[in-house]
Structure 1
Amino acid sequence: MAIFYLLFGIVYTGLLVELLLLWHRKYTNPLKGFESPMVSLLVSFRNEKDILGYFFECIISLSYRNLEVLFINDHSNDGGNEVLQGLIDNHPSLPFPVYILENKGIGKKAAIDTGIASAQADLIFCTDADCRVPENWIENKLGHFENPKVKMVGGPVMTSGQKGFFQKFQQIDWASILLVTKAGFEINSPLMCSAANLAYRKSAFLAVEGYQGNDMILSGDDEFLLKKFVKKFGPESVVYQNHMEDLVYTQPQQNWRSLFDQRSRWASKWNTHGSFNHLLGSIIPVLFQFVFLSSFLLMVIGALDLWVFIFIWIAKVGSERIVLGKVLQQYGIKHHFFWFFLVSVFHPFYVIIIVFRILFFKNEWKGRRVFSNI
């Protein structure tokens, strides 16, 4: 028993170090001589009236000018559509055209389909209405599309705000998500990306028939599309750029319930991709957390020596502090060791709660069932 846990602590540390090495691999973004093609930016929104004003100001501050912005209203009932129209009317000298479309279906995937059908450009950029994108966000991605083999470019997303344990927990948790995301791209087996920071070719979207085959699952407009691109065009067709200049900030969840709802919704797709690598990538992290939690029980009942228990938790806390701390530092975010310690101890319980919710509760998103178009 002791040998297993000792080896487990060593292996876990080694895996995190390997992920960090993959994180630091650089991908050259060729920008020289690239023309300024037209870009269509798609933004689906639903019941987000209170943040549309801030987001609108962020979007019209983008430095790229050969651009059209298409907001797709996904059946909002909070007056957000009227708010957005008012913002457009109050800016008669917009730097590029901004349109509001009504979703022809139900859900975000249908909203993106609606936007794609109206988009004038072949290069499609996507983000969410609760995000803040850098001023040079579009230019930072365009260089990759010089290569005709590149069909999709993903980028990092991070929550804003560092008040107290809850917001710090979200940032450290996001660091682990970014770390695994980048590693998947580097080993030519991408597992996930975020629609809050995504660009792809409209022609490629149409070639893979968009969301056909998974359109009944309201969530996953990013991951399912990523897998389709890889299957159709090969892993070299997708790129993940983790530069500071490409970072998109999103609003942190406001309470634990909303955070668990969000993460449960994301994780609920674990067995719907038809990919063994994705299935394995979903199960292994959960098993790791079960092992860490089991050490508490075994130590309490005397089946595990105290020094072994201390060793594996020092390995966990220490390696996560170093590796996830490096990821956050790349984006100018620093947290004291104390916060990493708290997050590291709490995280296994957090993961198990999410697993429990997936297995025994119905997941909803903006008032809709995740696995239903009702």
Structure 2
Amino acid sequence: MIALIFIIIVLLYLFLIGSLIYGFDRVEDFKLKDLKPKTKFSVIVPFRNEAANLPILLNSIFKLNYPKTLFEVILVDDDSEDDSVKVITTIKSKKTFGCTSTSLSEHAQGDIKIIRNNRISNSPKKDAITKALKIAQYNWIITTDADCVLPKYWLDAFDEFIQTNQPNCVVAPVTYNDGSSFLKRFQILDVLSLQGATIGGFGLKLPLLCNGANFAYRKSMFESVDGFSGNDNLASGDDIFLLEKFKKANSKKIFYLKSEKVIVTTKSVSNLSTLIQQRLRWASKTSHNPNWFSKLVGLIVFLGNLTCIAMLPVLFFGQITTRVAVALLVIKLSIDFLLLFKSSRFFKQENVLFSYVWSCLIYPFFSVYIVVLSLFKPYKWKGRTFKK
């Protein structure tokens, strides 16, 4: 009986991941056509205690190829306790960081704004985005994070995609940029699997994930769905819940921008403790997500990982044969690898696949641990504690 349950779970897992792989291939790569830039953007960056990362972000902003007259940057200080604001003002006053003096001068004249967050809910980040939206000059909003690096043709790709497809909302790729240790490669593999599932969901016309570090939408759409109202009691989910609202308003106007020109890179965390807190933050919004497909995916993935863990004791007590156990593990690990291979090839991070063997042994335990822990434990982030 136990063997039959395990077989059913693994077959469901195989069908799910296989479907996401099929969906991944259905999303076509977007190629730039050198169209004349037209779209005006307001780039919103909430930050808290990011003095070490802001120079890198601003440097990438100064290097953007897009006409400086067609975008603004709104940096929202969420009660930083370090020198974040001072760092920004110092950079704005200098003609440095690898950009020409002309481009930096244009930004310093007003294209980069710094405002303070106004806490009105349990979600500081949602409050920060909402406040920035109120003063945003342009209808197209793009959110990103202070620890990110933006590619040179980031806004060019968004602009051409918007001109070509006339969307209301665009989800775009995010990955980690440092694989110097096993822990960091483990995180890259994890985020690649999430990005693979994100793209696959769009290919199946069942979008289930997005990332606020590379997320664009019309300001008018944000206002028409009443922004974050209804979920601002949850600290996280500034991206997922908004995506669900946009889907409900008009699912045909939501797209994934699959282009290497728009890949935003960000930092992985440096230690296991912080990684656990980060994953608890991500997991905290799962039960509140109204998307049935997202919940189904989460359940099957959880059961698939739980089956891997349970295989050893069940095998030890003779409830399943070695041949069946090995076959089920090979099926799961193979389909996981195929999704990771496709995702890593798109992100040009195939080198992290060398850490797959060790990661796939650890991941089921890590994943199940996070799910169980998230049911009753609050999480800490940016010096604050948040309840589920």
Structure ranking higher on relative contact order (CA contacts 8 Å, 6+ apart): 2
Offset, 1:156: 1.1
For 1:68, the aligned partner's letter is E
Name the SS for the 1:194 alignment partner: coil
For 2:264, the aligned partner's letter is V
Query: What does residue 136 of structure 2 align with?
Result: 119
Offset, 1:10: 4.5
C-alpha RMSD over aligned residues: 2.1
Offset, 1:155: 0.8
Q: Deviations over 1:223-276 (max 9, x none)?
A: 11111111112x112111222222111101111111111111111111212333
Query: What does residue 98 of structure 1 align with?
Result: 112
The question of whether the paired residues in 2 share the 8 Å contact of 1:46 and 1:73 is answered with yes
Query: What does residue 46 of structure 1 align with?
Result: 48
Name the SS for the 1:71 alignment partner: strand
Equivalent residue in structure 1 for 2:147, among 105, 123, 130 = 130
Query: What does residue 98 of structure 2 align with?
Result: none
| Distance change (3 Å), C-alpha of 1:274 and 1:63 | same
Name the SS for the 1:335 alignment partner: helix
For 1:71, the aligned partner's letter is L
- Where structure 1 has 5 or more consecutive residues not aligned to the other structure, the ranges are none
Query: What does residue 159 of structure 1 align with?
Result: 176
Q: Deviations over 1:184-207 (max 9, x none)?
A: 222332212001011111111111
Compute the TM-score of the two structures, normalised by the length of structure 2: 0.89
- Where structure 2 has 5 or more consecutive residues not aligned to the other structure, the ranges are 96-100
Name the SS for the 1:364 alignment partner: strand
The question of whether the paired residues in 1 share the 8 Å contact of 2:27 and 2:202 is answered with no
**Is 1:344–2:360 an aligned residue pair?**
yes
Equivalent residue in structure 1 for 2:242, among 225, 232, 240 = 225
Q: Deviations over 1:313-347 (max 9, x none)?
A: 12222222232122102221123765211111211
| Distance change (3 Å), C-alpha of 1:337 and 1:159 | closer
| Distance change (3 Å), C-alpha of 1:336 and 1:61 | closer
The aligned runs of 1:151-230 (5 Å cut-off) are: 151-230=168-247
Equivalent residue in structure 2 for 1:243, among 255, 259, 264 = 259
The question of whether the paired residues in 2 share the 8 Å contact of 1:320 and 1:340 is answered with no
For 1:317, the aligned partner's letter is L
Number of residue-to-residue matches in the alignment: 371
Name the SS for the 1:99 alignment partner: strand
For 2:162, the aligned partner's letter is F
The question of whether the paired residues in 1 share the 8 Å contact of 2:176 and 2:266 is answered with yes
The aligned runs of 1:350-365 (5 Å cut-off) are: 350-365=366-381
Q: Distance in 1 between matches of 2:258 and 2:362?
A: 27
Tell me the percent identity.
Answer: 29
For 1:166, the aligned partner's letter is L
Compute the TM-score of the two structures, normalised by the length of structure 1: 0.92
Offset, 1:180: 1.3
Offset, 1:278: 3.1
Name the SS for the 2:279 alignment partner: helix
Offset, 1:361: 1.2
| Distance change (3 Å), C-alpha of 1:243 and 1:33 | closer
| Distance change (3 Å), C-alpha of 1:370 and 1:188 | farther
For 1:103, the aligned partner's letter is N
Q: Deviations over 1:328-371 (max 9, x none)?
A: 02221123765211111211101111012212311232233435
Q: Distance in 2 between matches of 1:338 and 1:120?
A: 46
